């Protein structure tokens, strides 16, 4: 194991270039297009029991002609049943592949 939760602030303080750290097992899912590079950090809440759900913990984007790492957001819409009316929210993460 690489540290514990109490050590996280110290680890980040010593590594200012690190934009995200949560000390969990997982992987990075990337999407590369001519307009942007997106990276979604996917993680498991537990690893000792099979069947753990995987979720995107945070995503970042680098846009064409806009250097730098930015936290990614997506807009989700939910129909309300009324014509022309939807609920909108902004969520972190990559849209499902």
- Tens of pLDDT, residues 30-43: 999 999 998 988 88
In a domain, residue 72? The reply is: yes
Cα–Cα dist 72/53, whole Å: 22
Q: Is residue 97 part of a domain?
A: no
Q: State whether the Cα torsion 78-31-53-92 is positive or negative.
A: negative
Segments forming the whole domain that contains residue 14: 5-92
10 versus 74: the higher-pLDDT residue is 10
pTM for this structure?
A: 0.62
- pLDDT tens-digit series, residues 34-69: 999 989 888 888 888 888 888 888 889 999 988 888
DSSP output for 17-46: T--------EEEEEEE-SSEEEEEEEEES-
Cβ proximity of 95 and 74 under 8 Å: yes
Average pLDDT estimate for 70-94: 58
In sequence order, what are the beta bridge partners of 56?
42
How many domains does the structure of the chain reveal?
1
Residue 37 CA: distances (Å) to CA of 16, 60, 62: 22, 8, 5
């Amino acid at each position: 194991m690489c540290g514990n939760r109490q050590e996280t602030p110290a680890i980040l303080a010593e590594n200012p270039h690190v934009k995200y750290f949560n000390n969990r097992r997982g992987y990075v899912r990337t999407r590369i297009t001519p307009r942007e590079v997106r990276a979604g950090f996917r993680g498991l809440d537990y690893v000792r029991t099979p069947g753990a759900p995987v979720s995107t913990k945070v995503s970042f984007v680098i846009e064409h002609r806009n250097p730098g790492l930015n936290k990614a957001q997506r807009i989700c819409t939910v129909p309300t049943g009324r014509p022309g009316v939807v609920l909108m929210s902004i969520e972190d993460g990559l849209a499902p592949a």
